[in-house]
């Protein structure tokens, strides 16, 4: 008999659906034969299926706990077991991410067998940081005087055609020649190819795509200087290595990493545009907790004791009437451009406010107030600890937690920047400006940020909204891990490179007039 209501009651659990499907069709039809029948048989099998699913999940997790790796699908080993596996293999875990620690354990033997090779250095850097890393050897970037009689690899070893004319101009295009002056007739940069067997082929991930590429015209003028695509030779840089200097040195290993997107990943889909109320974004009959949402507008809190977790909001407004000691909003790991809490107490933990933060009373821990901080409360003092506060903050209304010493800082934060073009005297002049709300990298700390902010949280991590993503801790963990795998005397340097977000262009084929 057909279902008169148009909807058939079916089990929601995996095992319950399997049991329901094994029954003869006559029993399934009777279970939904009339409006009075509410699928009691399906509900009964669903109850049994719930227990069977829990038993199955326990067995699957028990099996996964025996393999400390990152499986392509299915359950992974629980993170609390990783220190025990590491102790049995004598592995020192340094990655702040559970996936990175699994790779440290899973590849420990392989890395030791190939210790000191460039391939292992790249694998370790990518596993510990859980991001793409491109590597250059510093000694290859150092200018050296060519000596007569020194053999030079043929051009075919670099995937280039042999030099046809045996003239000075022709030999200038030889990719194996250690020439310092670049060949201005050609441009050097990454080129996407399809041939994985090419002598200079490399495989990298750009976003969510895996690309095969090679360095085109190594002795040409670099298209993107100071990036992973720049292989031009320079004089040795004797300065102490940092993210911006000291790279061209025989004792350096250069690790180019893409800057972190932050909340505004290009593939992020859970986004609300415009002015909204918090109650409109909450599931029905659920606690007032909003998680992992971007609001590109004004978010008005119209519920009591609201909680925001891992959210990015252009402007947060709490205007509901409340006593000064009443907690009206709790935010954890959130990014705001502006915050206005007119009444009550706001509690912020690991949050970043880019511009104005105005409260009647606030209790903040491990937060970053980059703009103005306004406190309008009169009686009760606000408490701020392990945070960055602006120099003009109303200290008379703040109780700054000191503990064993000063835990707050007034140092100026430096955020990731976006390339822009400014109009000056009818000319377009390239420049840089901090990423705005909604742009990739907004609120992400730049490597030039003082250590008092980048490592100023209570647990030694970074202050602000990206504390839970461990941006700076990942970079530190890579350098710490490589100490055990690099040859004595070599030093690794992490260099942010925005060009790793862009897929290299494909090969350009030039067709002559005769069609050849």
- Residue range 251-273, pLDDT digits in tens: 999 999 999 999 988 766 567 67
**Cα–Cα nearest to 335, from 279, 293, 386:** 293
226 has a pLDDT exceeding 60:
yes
Residue 346, CB half-sphere, CA atoms under 13 Å: how many? 30
User: Is a pLDDT exceeding 90 seen at residue 9?
Assistant: no
CA dist 111 and 269 (Å) reads: 37
pLDDT in tens, 54-73: 999 999 999 999 999 999 88
Highest mean pLDDT among 164-173, 343-352, 422-431: 343-352
CB 452 within 8 A of CB 468: no
Contact 341, 358 (CB under 8 A): yes
Looking at the chain, how many residues does it have?
516
Confidence of residue 378 (pLDDT cuts 50, 70, 90): low
Residue 7: the pLDDT is 54
Report CA-CA distances (Å) from 413 to 65, 252, 389, 505: 42, 28, 10, 35
Q: How many CA atoms lie within 13 A of 219 on its CB side?
A: 19
The three-point CA angle 368-372-377 to 5° equals 100
Eight-state DSSP code of residue 109 = H
Lowest mean pLDDT among 273-277, 351-355, 441-445, 495-499: 273-277
pLDDT for residue 514: 45
**What does the mean pLDDT of the chain come to?**
86
Q: Poorest-confidence range of 283-297, 331-345, 355-369?
A: 283-297
- The percent of residues in the chain predicted with pLDDT above 90, rounded, is 55
Residue 383 scores a pLDDT above 70: yes
Note the pLDDT tens digit of each residue in 117-143: 999 999 999 999 999 999 999 999 998
172 pLDDT exceeds 90? no
Cα separations in angstroms, 217 against 94, 200, 244, 255? 39, 11, 25, 22
Q: Which of 6-10, 168-172, 407-411 has the highest mean pLDDT?
A: 407-411
Please tell me the predicted confidence (pLDDT) of residue 203.
92
DSSP string, 245-312: S--SSTTEEEEEEPPP-TT--TT---EEES-EEHHHHSPTTS-SEEES-EEEEEEE--SSSEEEES-E
Closest CA to 116 of 231, 238, 253: 253
Cite the DSSP H helix spans in 23-117. 25-31, 40-64, 82-89, 98-106, 108-113
pLDDT the model gives residue 426: 63
User: pTM to 2 decimals?
Assistant: 0.85
pLDDT at 176: 76
Give the separation between CA 214 and CA 138, rounded to whole angstroms. 19
- Confidence bin at 8 (pLDDT 50/70/90): low
Q: Please give the average per-residue pLDDT across 334-339, as a whole number.
A: 96
């Amino acid at each position: 008999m057909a279902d008169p209501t148009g909807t058939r009651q079916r089990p929601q659990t995996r095992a319950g659906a399997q049991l329901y499907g094994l029954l003869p069709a006559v029993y399934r039809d009777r279970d939904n034969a009339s409006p009075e029948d509410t699928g009691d048989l399906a509900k009964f099998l669903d109850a049994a299926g719930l227990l069977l699913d829990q038993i199955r999940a326990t067995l699957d997790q028990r099996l996964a706990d025996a393999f400390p790796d990152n499986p392509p699908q299915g359950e992974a080993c629980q993170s609390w077991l990783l220190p025990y596996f590491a102790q049995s293999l004598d592995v020192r875990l340094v990655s702040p991410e559970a996936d990175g620690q699994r790779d440290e354990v899973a590849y420990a033997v392989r890395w030791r067998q190939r210790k000191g090779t460039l391939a292992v250095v790249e694998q370790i850097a990518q596993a510990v940081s859980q991001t793409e890393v491109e590597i250059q050897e510093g000694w290859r970037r150092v200018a050296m005087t060519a000596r007569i009689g020194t053999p030079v690899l043929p051009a075919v070893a670099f995937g280039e055609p042999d030099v046809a004319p045996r003239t000075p101009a022709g030999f200038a295009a030889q990719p194996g020649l250690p020439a310092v002056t670049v060949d201005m007739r050609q441009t050097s940069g990454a080129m996407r190819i399809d041939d994985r067997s090419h002598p200079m082929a490399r495989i990298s991930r750009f976003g969510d795509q895996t690309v095969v590429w090679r360095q085109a015209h190594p002795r040409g003028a670099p298209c993107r200087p100071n990036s992973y695509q720049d292989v031009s030779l320079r004089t040795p840089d004797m300065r102490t290595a940092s993210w911006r200097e000291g790279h061209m040195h025989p004792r350096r290993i250069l690790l180019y990493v893409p800057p972190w997107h932050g909340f505004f990943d290009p593939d992020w889909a859970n986004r609300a545009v415009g002015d909204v109320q918090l109650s409109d974004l909450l599931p029905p009959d659920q606690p007032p907790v909003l998680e992992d949402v971007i609001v590109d507008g004004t978010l008005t809190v119209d519920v009591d004791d609201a909680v925001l977790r891992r959210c990015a909001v252009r402007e947060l407004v709490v205007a509901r009437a409340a006593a000064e000691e009443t907690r009206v909003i709790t935010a954890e790991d959130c990014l705001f451009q502006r915050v206005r809490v007119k009444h009550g107490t706001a509690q912020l933990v690991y949050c970043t406010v880019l511009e104005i933060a105005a409260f009647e009373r606030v209790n903040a821990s491990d937060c970053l107030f980059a703009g103005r901080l306004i406190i309008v409360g009169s009686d009760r003092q606000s408490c701020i600890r392990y945070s960055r506060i602006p120099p003009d903050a109303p200290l008379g209304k703040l109780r700054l937690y000191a503990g064993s010493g000063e835990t707050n800082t007034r140092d100026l934060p430096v955020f990731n920047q976006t390339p822009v073009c400014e109009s000056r005297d009818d000319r377009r002049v390239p420049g840089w400006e901090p990423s705005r709300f909604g742009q990739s990298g907004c609120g992400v700390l730049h490597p030039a940020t003082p250590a008092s902010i980048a490592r100023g949280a209570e647990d030694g991590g970074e202050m602000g909204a990206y504390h839970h993503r461990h941006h700076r801790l990942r970079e530190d963990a890579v350098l710490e891990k490589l100490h055990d795998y690099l040859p004595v005397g070599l030093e690794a340097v992490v260099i942010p490179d925005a060009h790793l977000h862009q897929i290299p262009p494909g090969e350009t084929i030039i067709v002559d007039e005769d069609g050849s």
